[in-house]
A and B are shown apart, each in its own frame.
Chain A
Amino acid sequence: TVALPQARKASLARFLEKRKERVTSA
């Protein structure tokens, strides 16, 4: 397992959320 630093976790969450939006709106 790999621990994620907080800054990267927040960035990752934003990236995945936006990706979901892009995919579902396409």
Chain B
Amino acid sequence: PPPPHVTEDTLQQRLQALIEGARESWTYAVFWQLSHDFAGEDVSNTAALLSWGDGYYKGEEERNSRKRKPNPVSAAEQEHRKRVIRELNSLISGGGGTVSSGGGSSDEAGDEDVSDTEWFFLVSMTQSFVNGSGLPGRAFSSSRTIWLSGSNALAGSSCERARQGQVYGLETMVCIPTQNGVVELGSLEIIHQSSDLVEKVNSFFSFNG
């Protein structure tokens, strides 16, 4: 039976199980959680928002990294990404609750190039979508799965998030609505629509609370 409360840990486990148990090669999975944003002091004036609930980043398989035409990232952009990673590392290891604008301490992970999909995943943590807009918002409001495969489908989408995903090398993006949010998956490979995945999401994410 579904648990009364879904903790971050169980969300993480479900996202991980979804990706690691799939035959297809998914790069990441994100759960966009439904919440209500109170606009001003009027409590009746609320907007349904889909914001970061949790995410699981599997990473790029070597065969994908090799065959993929790299998005030319400028040296300045790569430096910027590394600096952000270093700062976030020092924030997390320092146990603080804020990100400062100062330089973080250098370490091995902070000196390694930050891939496009890592960056896309990281930036996603700062994003949220009003119900009805953006890829997750549209999937939720229509209660329908959105399945975009092929770079043309992503590049031609009216959703900025799909176009952004294509720029970062994604070939497939999927948003599957659930009771309390939307599960989004992305892949560097073309993956065709399957009812298996949708059914799995429905069974893994059919909880209350």
Interface residues of A (CB under 8 A from B): 1-5, 7-16, 18-20, 22-24, 26
In the assembly, what is the distance between CA of A20 and CA of B108, in Å?
A: 8
Closest-by-CB residue of B relative to A6 is B8
Q: What size tier do the contact residues of chain B reach?
A: 20 to 34
Closest-by-CB residue of B relative to A20 is B109
Mask: chain B, 41-55; 1 = CB below 8 Å from A; 0 = not: 000000000001111
The A contact surface, by secondary structure, is: helix
Check B12–A1 contact: CB distance below 8 A. no
The B contact surface, by secondary structure, is: mixed
Chain A nearest CB, measured from B161 CB (Å): 17
Closest-by-CB residue of B relative to A15 is B57
Mask: chain B, 172-204; 1 = CB below 8 Å from A; 0 = not: 000000000000000000000000000000000
Show 29 A/B contacts (Cβ-Cβ < 8 Å), sorted by A: A1-B98, A3-B97, A4-B91, A4-B97, A4-B98, A4-B99, A5-B52, A7-B33, A8-B125, A9-B97, A10-B8, A10-B54, A11-B8, A11-B54, A11-B55, A11-B125, A12-B88, A15-B57, A15-B122, A16-B109, A18-B57, A19-B85, A19-B118, A20-B89, A20-B109, A23-B108, A23-B112, A24-B108, A24-B109
